A and B are shown apart, each in its own frame.
Chain A
Amino acid sequence: EAQVTQNPRYLITVTGKKLTVTCSQNMNHEYMSWYRQDPGLGLRQIYYSMNVEVTDKGDVPEGYKVSRKEKRNFPLILESPSPNQTSLYFCASSDRGPGNYGYTFGSGTRLTVV
């Protein structure tokens, strides 16, 4: 089944403890992206990647890092999480860019930072 898989689905952590949210897609898509979703704010892009080793900042990149060493994986790294990073996170992938055929989204990771 064609899908984007995120792990974990739920995570509670403490301020300052580094964490990684993994994302993997099995559709051979070149383009991948991370979003956060907060009530009333919709989806805001954190980082995106056009291909292996090519990444760029989205609208809200502060406090996040990403890497794209392989085409299928695009992990999101929070080096020192803070409570304002409590949110619902989505990974998404697209073939030839989201403007062509849209995104396929993962099921989300709900992160709570205390």
Chain B
Amino acid sequence: GQQLNQSPQSMFIQEGEDVSMNCTSSSIFNTWLWYKQDPGEGPVLLIALYKAGELTSNGRLTAQFGITRKDSFLNISASIPSDVGIYFCAGQGDSNYQLIWGAGTKLIIKP
């Protein structure tokens, strides 16, 4: 099935650094979702975006729905150790019943 292009695949960062990741698609989406998966757990919804150009924050996290409706970005400011995990983007197109997922960005904080 279709998959989003999510990058980077992994990131090694220092505590306190800002983080950016993005997802792109060849088709337009009506909804963009960002999830985080902690080790040993299921993904948890962080931010949902419903409108092109929309910018939404959740604490230190900020996500944007791209103007072209084919991309989305997630930024994390001043990273802390509990930010480690895998971040997934997901998009919803014409079907309300299926999401298209990115392969994930693994965030690792250097000791």
A contact residues vs B (CB 8 Å cutoff): 4, 31, 40-45, 48, 50, 56, 58-60, 90, 92, 96-108
B contact residues vs A (CB 8 Å cutoff): 1, 3, 6, 30-31, 33, 35, 40-45, 48, 88, 90, 92, 95-99, 101-104
Q: How far is the CB of A17 from chain B (nearest CB, A)?
A: 25
Please tell me if the beta carbons of A103 and B45 are within 8 angstroms of each other in the complex. yes
* Interchain CA distance A48-B92 in the complex, whole Å: 15
Prevailing SS type, chain B contact patch:
loop
Q: Top 6 A-B pairs ranked by shortest CB distance?
A: A105-B42, A99-B92, A59-B1, A97-B96, A42-B103, A102-B45
Contact among A41, A50, A104, A108 for B41, CB-based, below 8 A: A108
Contacts of B96 in A (CB 8 A): 96-100
Q: Contacts A45-B1, A98-B98, A99-B95 given; 16 further ones with Cβ under 8 A?
A: A40-B103, A42-B6, A43-B43, A45-B98, A48-B98, A90-B43, A96-B96, A97-B97, A99-B31, A99-B96, A100-B96, A102-B35, A103-B99, A105-B44, A107-B41, A108-B42
What is the count of residue pairs linking A and B with beta-carbon distances less than 8 angstroms?
70
Q: How far is the CB of B95 from chain A (nearest CB, A)?
A: 8
Please tell me if the beta carbons of B88 and A42 are within 8 angstroms of each other in the complex. yes
Please tell me if the beta carbons of B97 and A107 are within 8 angstroms of each other in the complex. no
Contacts of B104 in A (CB 8 A): 42
Contact among B41, B43, B45, B98 for A58, CB-based, below 8 A: B98
Please tell me if the beta carbons of B101 and A92 are within 8 angstroms of each other in the complex. no
* Interchain CA distance A97-B48 in the complex, whole Å: 13
Contacts of B35 in A (CB 8 A): 102
